Structure 1
Amino acid sequence: MEEADMKHNSYDIVLSGVGGQGVLLTSLIIGQAVAESGLEIQIAETRGLAQRGGSVICHIRIGDGQGSPLVPEGEAEALVAFEPLESIRYIRFLKPGDSVAVVNEHATPPIMARIGSDRYPSAESLAECLKQVTPCVYFIDADALAQQVGNARVSNSILLGALAAASELPISVDHLKRAIKTNAPKGTELLNIEAFDRGYALIKKRT
């Protein structure tokens, strides 16, 4: 995949999830890939109560002259939600009609326990809400795919592969894979690459 031209010389991404899902690691991988592509990047992370399953959000701003490292509401070209409800929590950042949402449809136990499984919204209802903002919405069971790869902790790489396939990221797949190899926990590099490829291929089949 070749690097895509950025519209208006910028590209904004919001990653959201809960502690332990690899949100921060994914932002690091994207950051390295962008830097090696020769582009400017700013990353702002909010950890909150990440260690206790609290919400985690990363703002990623690619391009020159971005000003604040925080993505303005209504300006993100891409939203990646590592937990289904997080997609709605941060839906306000999506650029109406001109953005992509990639959502892990697997609900995490801490969130389920907090609101009750009987009150947890379905993937269909969440997708309906997201599609009121953008038609490009992709729900995938990243956790199930990660289990197929052989390691439940590579679901973040599956979501990253899905993002690369679904969006117009201004960085190449090769740059992303090199960054994965550099930043993945020792001994899991190949598993993470396989996970990335699974996520990428899944979305390409749908587009």
Structure 2
Amino acid sequence: MKRGRADLLLGLQREEGLKNLPMLREGGAAVINAPSLPEVKGVRLYPLDADRLAQEVGNPRGVNLVLISYAASKGLLPFSQQEIQEAITRLVPPALREINLKAVQAGFGATERPP
């Protein structure tokens, strides 16, 4: 993808998310795994301490699901909580289902909001 063309950036790591902000178009959005972020002109930033939330639900490897679910809860992705949960139920092995569903719930229930 060309610089300045992306609508949405999901940053699993703070540094990588900030480094890739130039990929966003003017007015694009970035959901970045960080408790806080500096203000950046021209983009909408959504900091979220996804590491902490994933740890709290016992799924430290579920950061991606927390971020995706949070982005969906903000209207940045076209998926409802139910749709994501149904996909996990269909695609994830039974032994890992519950812990992944908890990560989704954490993302949709996150209280962190941009300033």
TM-score per shorter chain, which class?
A: 0.7 to 0.9
Per the alignment, residue 172 of structure 1 pairs with: 80
Residue type at the aligned position of 2:113? R
Does the Cα contact within 8 Å between 1:78 and 1:167 map onto a contact in 2? no
Structure 1 residues 145 and 171, CA gap change in structure 2 (3 angstroms): closer
Unaligned runs of 5+ in 2: none
Shift in Å, 1:142: 1.1
Q: Counterparts of 2:29 and 2:23 in 1: how far apart (Å)?
A: 11
TM-score (norm 2): 0.81
Per the alignment, residue 196 of structure 1 pairs with: 104
Percent identity, aligned pairs only, is 30
Structure 1 residues 183 and 168, CA gap change in structure 2 (3 angstroms): same
Does the Cα contact within 8 Å between 1:94 and 1:133 map onto a contact in 2? no
Residue type at the aligned position of 1:206? R
Structure 1 residues 138 and 185, CA gap change in structure 2 (3 angstroms): farther
Q: Counterparts of 1:103 and 1:92 in 2: how far apart (Å)?
A: 14
**Matching residue within 61, 77, 82 for 2:7:** 77
CA distances 1:10-45 after superposition (whole Å, capped 9, x unpaired): xxxxxxxxxxxxxxxxxxxxxxxxxxxxxxxxxxxx
Does the Cα contact within 8 Å between 2:69 and 2:108 map onto a contact in 1? yes
Q: Is 2:113 the counterpart of 1:206?
A: yes
Root-mean-square deviation (Å) = 2.3
Q: Counterparts of 1:185 and 1:72 in 2: how far apart (Å)?
A: 36
TM-score (norm 1): 0.48
CA distances 1:152-177 after superposition (whole Å, capped 9, x unpaired): 11121111111111233233332222
1:22-61 aligned at under 5 Å gives the runs none
Q: Is 2:41 the counterpart of 1:132?
A: yes
Q: Counterparts of 1:96 and 1:152 in 2: how far apart (Å)?
A: 33
Unaligned runs of 5+ in 1: 1-70, 107-122
State the SS of the aligned residue for 1:202: coil
Per the alignment, residue 34 of structure 2 pairs with: 105
Does the Cα contact within 8 Å between 1:100 and 1:166 map onto a contact in 2? no
State the SS of the aligned residue for 1:169: coil
Aligned residues between the structures = 114
Q: Counterparts of 1:153 and 1:163 in 2: how far apart (Å)?
A: 18
Shift in Å, 1:100: 1.5
Q: Is 2:78 the counterpart of 1:149?
A: no
